[in-house]
Structure 1
Amino acid sequence: MPTRKTKLTGKQKAAILMIALGTDVSATVFKQFTEQEVEDMTLEISNARKIDAETKAQVIDEFFQTALAQEYISQGGIGYAKQILEKALGSDEANKVIQRLTSTLQVKPFDFMRKSDPQQILNFIQNEHPQTIALVLSYLDPDQAGAVLSALSVEQQANVARRIAQMDRTSPETITQVERILEKKISNSSVNEDYTQIGGISSIVSVLNGVDRTTERNILEKLETHDPDLAEEIKKRMFVFEDIVVLDDRAIQRVIRESENEDLILAMRTASDEVKDLLFKNMSERMAASFKEEMEYMGPVRLHDVEEAQTKIVNTIRKLEDAGEIVIARGKGDDVIV
């Protein structure tokens, strides 16, 4: 095992910590490891020979500071953690702890904003370039990002949504630069050195699922004008067949009436038991019995046909919602039937 004068790797530090903790505690920690991590740690511990007291103390102290910093971050964010650590350790040592923590635990960029109210975030970013707004929203929790997106001007909403959907990879330098601009009154946070995968269709779908229906419709209508293919792809993912469980009984009964029996039977072929039970519950006993019998004796069918049937039913659901005849629960309960 390297001496204290040699820079230790993360695995070597972990091995020293396991040895210092003793067999009982280490055995408990090992239960949380993956198989590969167990192999790696076993090898490192096996290679360890004599560890001097100073090296052991440094590793334990580093672990303690990191754990303490993580606790501070969970309480009030990176800015709060850095402020507390600076008082205890000094500025230089605090920066080292925060940098070590954010790189090893992959604390996400813009963490300081996750502790903020959506209105506060809006005040931070509403006058920024749409690409900057899209970058920030891509890192926020979907509900939080949805609330901010809803509060943007009508002109900004579709523009930002399109940029999130089309976003691929952003360099750490760009992210850091944007963070520094937005964190004028909050301590700078570090980012992972690897290029980070953000944005994309899944990201904007998660965000749109957190906005109100009016905002969603406005964004999609504008996207249909500027980029119809993107709008269609987003709509396909906004509500899938399994999401039928969010509908109330009245809405499900309406969907059943508006759908072809053949499509319903095919769509239920790969559905979860929860979806099947919900649909059967909202059918007449005779209809449910007929469906169950037909499904039992149905031969093999193409997955493509099943997916096509599910798409037809999803389209029916969206048409009924657009007409105001059913409500799809979304966001934080803004859609209420009165």
Structure 2
Amino acid sequence: MADRRTKMNGKQKAAILMIALGTDVSANVFKHLTEQEIEDLTLEISNARKVDSDMKKQVIEEFFQTAMAQEYISQGGIGYAKQILEKALGAQQANDVIQRLTSTLQVRPFDFMRKSDPQQILNFIQNEHPQTIALILSYLDPDQAATVLSALPVENQADIARRIAQMDRTSPEIISQVERVLEKKVSSSSVNQDYTQTGGIASIVNVLNGVDRTTEKNILEQLEEHDSDLAEEIKKRMFVFEDIVVLDDRAIQRVIRESENEDLILAMRTASEEVKELLFHNMSERMAASFKEEMEYMGPVRLHDVEEAQTRIVNTIRKLEDAGEIVIARGKGDDVIV
């Protein structure tokens, strides 16, 4: 049996696991696979004409150990996972599980810093080059990165935000070099040689959504001076129409008054039920009934027109906030006060 197990490759093990889990679970797994993966796995399953109970047990056990190891790594890194597995499985089996994982698992760079307090991170990186700081912040959790960015010198914030937004791909060698310079455990030792997606506009938007309003305004104003297109693209992504749910009732009522009825009706065409109910709740009964009737009998509309209407309403929200007439709830500070 031992010889038979050692000859199984990953696809064969996956096929046996699907057989062991049954058709319902396997069907759900298949929903998350590519067409090629489904084809390969289906072929392996069809070739596995007879799978004995010992083989099923061995594959399920290996899968369970691997899944638990990945969970432990996400909680506290490879070292933590190894300690837990050694207590549960013994040193030899724990080593086998970790070795299996590290041959394919990509541990996110700067994993150790995501376990640290933002103030400690700030103390550790504040004297580094802005590009180094940008690289590190792009890998942190958005809340952590927002706290650190807010605490950095005001004159450096926009520069670092711009570097994060314009960051695309960073080679593993540079990432590892930065980690070595910081004299910390290299968490990307198993990163393959493909370039790793880093930063980008989505990354800085997540960070800015968590900073206080003063920091956000300072960064965007400075970005507008140096790169107005980038600043505008960031603004577009920072608050979308569906985010209207973070406003309180009085703020929503103000937005409704300041917006064109036609825009509101169009914008609600693709809105979630939560957004629709929130808007209806803040209208008069007569207005809500009129909107519902018009939406019911409205013919087909272009998605582009809907998106433009939503953009106009979002711009209204921005103007009201800039004028201090409403306040949008943010990650680290402002209450929603109108």
Bin the TM-score by the shorter chain.
Answer: 0.7 to 0.9
Aligned with 1:34 (options 30, 39, 54): 30
Provide the residue aligned with 1:204 in structure 2: 204
Q: Does the CA-based 8 Å contact 2:209-2:238 persist in structure 1?
A: yes
For the structure 1 residues 174 and 231, does the alpha-carbon distance in structure 2 shift closer, same or farther, using more than 3 Å as the test? same
Q: Does the CA-based 8 Å contact 1:78-1:111 persist in structure 2?
A: no
**Separation of aligned partners in 2, 1:276 and 1:46:** 49
Q: Deviations over 1:23-64 (max 9, x none)?
A: 756889856632665654564577689xxxxx99x9999878
Matched, 1:292 2:292: yes
1:109 aligned partner, one-letter code: P
SS of equivalent to 2:245: helix
1:172 aligned partner, one-letter code: P
Q: Deviations over 1:282-328 (max 9, x none)?
A: 11112112222232333333333222221111111111111221121
1:230 Cα deviation after fit? 0.2
Unaligned runs of 5+ in 2: 50-54
Q: Does the CA-based 8 Å contact 1:142-1:210 persist in structure 2?
A: yes
Instruction: Report matched runs for 1:155-170 at 5 Å.
Output: 155-170=155-170
2:146 aligned partner, one-letter code: G
1:234 aligned partner, one-letter code: I
Q: Deviations over 1:213-242 (max 9, x none)?
A: 111111100100010000000001110111
Q: Does the CA-based 8 Å contact 2:104-2:190 persist in structure 1?
A: no
1:180 aligned partner, one-letter code: R
Q: Does the CA-based 8 Å contact 2:134-2:161 persist in structure 1?
A: yes
Q: Deviations over 1:131-172 (max 9, x none)?
A: 111111112221121111111111221111111111111111
Provide the residue aligned with 1:223 in structure 2: 223
Q: Does the CA-based 8 Å contact 1:267-1:309 persist in structure 2?
A: yes
Q: Which moved more, 1:145-154 or 1:96-105?
A: 96-105
**Separation of aligned partners in 2, 1:300 and 1:38:** 37
Instruction: Report matched runs for 1:18-167 at 5 Å.
Output: 18=17, 24=20, 30=26, 33-34=29-30, 40-41=40-41, 43-44=43-44, 66=66, 69-81=69-81, 89=91, 98=98, 100-167=100-167
**Separation of aligned partners in 2, 1:100 and 1:336:** 49
Unaligned runs of 5+ in 1: 50-54
Query: TM-score normalised to the size of structure 1?
Result: 0.80
**Separation of aligned partners in 2, 1:155 and 1:325:** 28
Q: Deviations over 1:115-136 (max 9, x none)?
A: 1111122122211111111111
2:285 aligned partner, one-letter code: E
For the structure 1 residues 24 and 82, does the alpha-carbon distance in structure 2 shift closer, same or farther, using more than 3 Å as the test? closer
SS of equivalent to 1:324: coil
2:318 aligned partner, one-letter code: R
1:231 aligned partner, one-letter code: A
Instruction: Report matched runs for 1:199-278 at 5 Å.
Output: 199-278=199-278
**Separation of aligned partners in 2, 1:226 and 1:7:** 60
For the structure 1 residues 197 and 62, does the alpha-carbon distance in structure 2 shift closer, same or farther, using more than 3 Å as the test? same
What's the C-alpha RMSD, in Å, of the aligned pairs?
Answer: 3.8
Provide the residue aligned with 1:52 in structure 2: none
1:118 aligned partner, one-letter code: P
1:121 aligned partner, one-letter code: I
2:284 aligned partner, one-letter code: S
Q: Does the CA-based 8 Å contact 1:158-1:222 persist in structure 2?
A: yes
2:29 aligned partner, one-letter code: F
1:192 aligned partner, one-letter code: V
Instruction: Report matched runs for 1:310-321 at 5 Å.
Output: 310-321=310-321
1:266 Cα deviation after fit? 2.1
**Separation of aligned partners in 2, 1:138 and 1:300:** 41
Aligned residues with identical type, % of pairs: 82
**Separation of aligned partners in 2, 1:263 and 1:71:** 46
**Separation of aligned partners in 2, 1:303 and 1:46:** 44
Matched, 1:282 2:278: no
Provide the residue aligned with 1:190 in structure 2: 189
Q: Does the CA-based 8 Å contact 1:176-1:191 persist in structure 2?
A: no
SS of equivalent to 1:33: helix
Q: Does the CA-based 8 Å contact 2:111-2:187 persist in structure 1?
A: no
For the structure 1 residues 71 and 295, does the alpha-carbon distance in structure 2 shift closer, same or farther, using more than 3 Å as the test? closer
